[in-house]
Amino acid sequence: MGLFDFIKSQFIEVIEWTDDSLNTMVYRFPVHGKEIKMGAQLTVRESQAAVFVNEGQVADVFGPGRYSLDTQNMPVLTKLKSWQYGFNSPFKAEVYFVNTKQFTDQKWGTTNPVMMRDAEFGMLRLRAFGIFSFRIADPVKFLKEILGTNGEFDTESIAGQLRRSIVSGISDLLGETKVAAIDLAMYYDELSSQAKEKLQPRFDTYGLTLTSFFFENISLPEEVEKVLDKRTSMGVIGNMQQYAQYQAAEAIKDAANNPGGGIAGAGVGLGAGAALGNMMGEAFKTMNQLQQPMTMEDRCPGCNSRVPAGYKFCPQCGKPMAPPSEKCIKCGSEIDQGTKFCPECGTSQAADLVCKGCGNKLKPGSKFCPECGNKMQ
C-alpha cells in the first residue's frame, strides 16, 4: 500500500449505524484517530439522531435523513473550528448515534413492601410490580446528564436508576391513595395514568419520556391473603350451622366405621352419641320450622304494600286493611261501607228519606236523624 492509499484510509467518507440489538441506546461511531473527510456522507435512519461532539462540546445534531457534511450543514462545528469560506480540510469529531425508538417491556417492582393505611384491615404492607416503556426525547440532554464519554450505552446501564425512581414515586402514590386495598384491582388503569403523570418530571431530568406505564399486580401480605381466603370460603359455604351439622354427621359416620376403638373408642362413641343427639335435635327443630306454613300476607288497598295477615292498618300508609262494614237495610247482611246494593238480597242502600229538621238525607228505616237527633215519623 502506497503513501497515498495510507493517507486516504485515514479519511472517513461514510458515517452510518445499523442497530442489530434491541436495547442499545447510544453508539459512538468508531473514529479511532481517523479524520472525517469534508463532504463525507452521513446517513441517519428513522428513530435515530446523530450528535457531533468537538473537543468535549456538543456541536451539530442531525435528524433522520442523508447529509453531505460541509460548512453549510454543520454551522456550529464550522463556528467552533473557525473555518473560512471554501475551506475543505478533513476534521476530527466524535459522532454519537442516539436511538430514539421506544424501549418496551421494561420491568419494575417494589423491592420492599409499601406501608398503607386501610379502612378495613388497618395498616397493610403492599407489593406492586408492572412494566413501562420509555424513549430518549432530548439527545443532547441525555448525552450531558447520563452518557458522559461512554462509547456504547444500553438500557441495562440506566435500568436500575429508573426502577428506583419509579418505586419511590409508586410508594408515594400508594400511600396517598384512599382506595381500599381489596378494591385496588378495580383501579389499575387509573393508578397507571396517575403514576405516569407523577413520574414524567423525573424522566425529564434525564432527557427521557415515559411513554407508557402499567400496573400488573398489587399483592397483599401472605397472612392477609390467607384471612381473605378463609372469609371467601365461609361465604361459599353459606349456612354455617348446616355445614357444622354435616361435618358432625360425617365424623360420627367415620367413627362408627372404625371397629377397633377400645376404651378410647368407646369414649369417643359416647361423646359422638351425645353430639349426634344434640345434632339430630337441632336438625328436627330446623325441619319443623321449615315445614311450618309461611305467614300469609295481604296487600294494602291504599299503597299496595305487603302487610302480614291479621294487621288492621297498613304500617306503611296507615290506611285500614279492610273497609269498615255495615248492615244491609233489608236483610241485615254485613256489607262494605259505601256499597250501593246488597250482594245478598240486591236491595238498594241509597238514601230516600229527608230529615224535616235539618234536611239531611237518611237511609230507609232510620228512626232518628244522626245529624240533629230529630225523630222520624
Residues 128 and 181 occupy one common structural domain:
yes
Residue where one domain finishes, among candidates 99, 134, 155:
99
pLDDT per residue as tens digits for the range 202-245: 999 999 999 999 999 888 877 777 777 776 666 656 566 666 66
Q: Which domain holds residue 141?
A: 103-222
Q: How far apart are CA 193 and CA 197, in angstroms?
A: 6
297 domain residue, yes or no: no
Instruction: Report the domain count for the chain.
Output: 3
Cell reading at 177: 391513595
Q: What is the pLDDT of residue 294?
A: 45
Using an 8 Å Cβ cutoff, are 118 and 77 in contact? no
Residues 41 and 117 occupy one common structural domain:
no
Q: How far apart are CA 339 and CA 7, in angstroms?
A: 127
29 domain residue, yes or no: yes
Using an 8 Å Cβ cutoff, are 326 and 312 in contact? no
Residues 128 and 195 occupy one common structural domain:
yes
Q: How far apart are CA 182 and CA 177, in angstroms?
A: 13
- CATH number of the domain at 118, please: 3.30.479.30
Average pLDDT of span 118-132: 84
Average pLDDT of span 45-73: 90
| Per-residue confidence band for 64, with pLDDT thresholds at 50, 70 and 90 | very high
175 domain residue, yes or no: yes
Which residues lie closer than 8 Å to 148 by C-beta, 6 or more apart?
none
Average pLDDT of span 86-99: 81
Residue 160, φ and ψ in degrees, nearest 5 = -60, -45
Residues 85 and 118 occupy one common structural domain:
no
Cell reading at 122: 388497618
Q: What is the pLDDT of residue 352?
A: 60
Average pLDDT of span 188-197: 93
| Per-residue confidence band for 372, with pLDDT thresholds at 50, 70 and 90 | confident
Give the global pTM.
Answer: 0.57
Spatial CA neighbour of 48 closest among 68, 28, 62: 62
Summary mean pLDDT of the chain: 78
Residue where one domain finishes, among candidates 45, 68, 99:
99
Residues 76 and 110 occupy one common structural domain:
no
Residues 123 and 178 occupy one common structural domain:
yes
Residues 107 and 149 occupy one common structural domain:
yes
Tell me the range of 157-171, 220-234, 240-254 where mean pLDDT is highest.
157-171
Q: What is the pLDDT of residue 5?
A: 46
Q: How far apart are CA 337 and CA 355, in angstroms?
A: 21
Residues 206 and 165 occupy one common structural domain:
yes
Sheet holding 152-154, edge to edge: 57-62, 48-54, 94-99, 24-28, 152-154
Residues 124 and 216 occupy one common structural domain:
yes
Per DSSP, the residues of 131-197 read: EEEEEES-HHHHIIIIITT-SEEETHHHHHHHHHHHHHHHHHHHHH--S-GGGGGGGHHHHHHHHHH
| Per-residue confidence band for 132, with pLDDT thresholds at 50, 70 and 90 | very high
299 domain residue, yes or no: no
| Per-residue confidence band for 189, with pLDDT thresholds at 50, 70 and 90 | very high
Q: Is 27 exposed, middle or buried (0-12, 13-18, 19+ CB in 10 A)?
A: buried
Residues 89 and 125 occupy one common structural domain:
no
3-state DSSP assignment of residue 248: helix
| CA distances to 235, 237, 239, 272, 289 from 249, in Å | 22, 16, 16, 9, 21
Q: What is the pLDDT of residue 260?
A: 58
Q: What is the pLDDT of residue 213?
A: 95
323: pLDDT strictly greater than 70: no
Residues 91 and 115 occupy one common structural domain:
no
Using an 8 Å Cβ cutoff, are 139 and 53 in contact? no
Using an 8 Å Cβ cutoff, are 215 and 191 in contact? yes
More confident residue, 101 or 306: 101
Which DSSP state fits 224? Answer: H
State what percent of residues in the chain have pLDDT above 90: 25
Which residues lie closer than 8 Å to 355 by C-beta, 6 or more apart?
361, 362, 369, 371, 372, 374, 376
Q: How far apart are CA 88 and CA 81, in angstroms?
A: 12
| Per-residue confidence band for 1, with pLDDT thresholds at 50, 70 and 90 | very low
pLDDT per residue as tens digits for the range 38-57: 888 999 999 999 999 888 88
Per DSSP, the residues of 76-105 read: HHHHHHTPPTT----B--EEEEEE-S-EEE
30: pLDDT strictly greater than 90: no
Residue where one domain finishes, among candidates 53, 77, 99:
99
Q: Is 32 exposed, middle or buried (0-12, 13-18, 19+ CB in 10 A)?
A: exposed
| Per-residue confidence band for 334, with pLDDT thresholds at 50, 70 and 90 | confident
Q: Tell me the residue ranges of DSSP E strands in the chain.
A: 11-15, 24-28, 35-44, 48-54, 57-62, 65-68, 94-99, 103-109, 114-118, 122-136, 152-154, 208-219, 297-299, 306-308, 325-327, 334-336, 353-354, 361-362
| Per-residue confidence band for 350, with pLDDT thresholds at 50, 70 and 90 | low
Spatial CA neighbour of 147 closest among 158, 159, 131: 158
309 domain residue, yes or no: no
Residues 156 and 170 occupy one common structural domain:
yes
Distance of CA 3 to the CA centre of its chain: 72
306 domain residue, yes or no: no
- What length does the chain have? 377
34 domain residue, yes or no: yes
352 domain residue, yes or no: yes
Tell me the range of 20-24, 151-155, 212-216, 234-238 where mean pLDDT is highest.
212-216
More confident residue, 262 or 307: 307
